[in-house]
Structure 1
Amino acid sequence: MTITIASKTTLYDRDFYQWVQETTEKLKMKDFDHVDLENLIEEIESLGTSERSEIYNRLATLLEHLLKRMFVDMPQEFNGWENTIREQRKRLKRALKFSPSLKNYFTEVFDEAFVDALEEIRKEKGYKLVKFPDTWQFGRDIDTMINVDFWEQ
């Protein structure tokens, strides 16, 4: 018995990198009639999705570590949590610098990211007895989230 695997017919399906190179060249040459618009549109849309996903994931991670640092009495872990907090803040700041329109998205997804962070922490074995707040009780604007060390207040 012979099994035939259907070959991928478009360059996009066969060799993504080559497709990017050829599409870039066609755009530079203004050869718009030969640009694979369907896949180009899909790739551009996915870039926006990726940027939003990065903001969401970094915010949720930041919130997880802020909660741990503020509510878990494990001084031996403070340095690690603070390092993660600094890293997430730095990367959030950079992402928002390059895509300032995502500041609105940061605000839109804050509550959802907080709920996800809280759920994740509550699943961890070492924190089951810790009383984390059900809502974020501090400033939630971008400037505050990136600059304030809440555990020092």
Structure 2
Amino acid sequence: MNNLYEADFAQWAQEQAELCRQGRYSELDVEHLSEELEGMSARERRELVSRLGILLAHLLKWQYQPQRRGNRWRLTIKIQRFDVAALLHQNPSLRARFEEFLSDAYARAILQAAGETGLDENVFPEACPFSAGQVLGDHWPDAVS
């Protein structure tokens, strides 16, 4: 079973699924199956943090460079909000750690916003200035004066 996991992951996965359907649990490759399930969970978390980072970066750009606002930024914000909401709908357990993910994503968002705007990283607040409700809702931040 280990050889198949290493040699042909797709075939290994199909066989694991078939063993489950047939109730042949003692034949499952439990070690690799457990690793793959944990990996799936981690991928969902990484995708959420990545999408939040893009969303937060665009909200910062929207707030700090109002003269450059345009349809692309608006569309990116809307799409990322849609995709974040879909991820949370498909993975409700991620909501329990949303604030943590928001904080992790914000650090990346500062780097992205600074790099794309030419503004210094220190211009942006140290902590995320947007609440979870603002990030997920229809909040469009006012320009910073």
TM class by shorter chain equals: 0.7 to 0.9
Query: Partner of 2:137 in structure 1?
Result: 147
After TM superposition, the score normalised by the length of structure 1 is 0.82
Match of 2:118 among 106, 127, 152: 127
* CA shift for structure 1 position 144: 2.6
Any residues of structure 2 matched to 1:2-151 within 5 Å, and which?
Answer: 10-75=3-68, 77-124=69-116, 126-128=117-119, 131-138=123-130, 140-141=131-132, 143-151=133-141
Give the whole-Å Cα distance in 2 for the aligned partners of 1:14 and 1:129: 48
Give the whole-Å Cα distance in 1 for the aligned partners of 2:120 and 2:5: 52
After TM superposition, the score normalised by the length of structure 2 is 0.86
* CA shift for structure 1 position 152: 5.2
Give the whole-Å Cα distance in 1 for the aligned partners of 2:35 and 2:120: 46
Number of equivalenced pairs: 141
Give the whole-Å Cα distance in 2 for the aligned partners of 1:80 and 1:133: 24
Structure 2 residue runs without a partner (length 5+): none
RMSD: 2.0
Q: Is the 8 A contact 1:52 1:105 kept in 2?
A: no
Give the whole-Å Cα distance in 2 for the aligned partners of 1:78 and 1:133: 23
Greater relative contact order structure (CA < 8 Å, 6+ sep): 2
* CA shift for structure 1 position 121: 2.1
**3-state secondary structure, aligned to 1:30:** coil
Q: Is the 8 A contact 2:58 2:113 kept in 1?
A: no
Structure 1 residue runs without a partner (length 5+): 1-8
**Greater fraction of residues in helix:** 2
Give the whole-Å Cα distance in 1 for the aligned partners of 2:74 and 2:7: 44
Q: % of aligned pairs identical?
A: 31
Q: Which protein shows a greater Rg?
A: 1
More displaced 10-residue stretch of structure 1: 21-30 or 129-138: 129-138
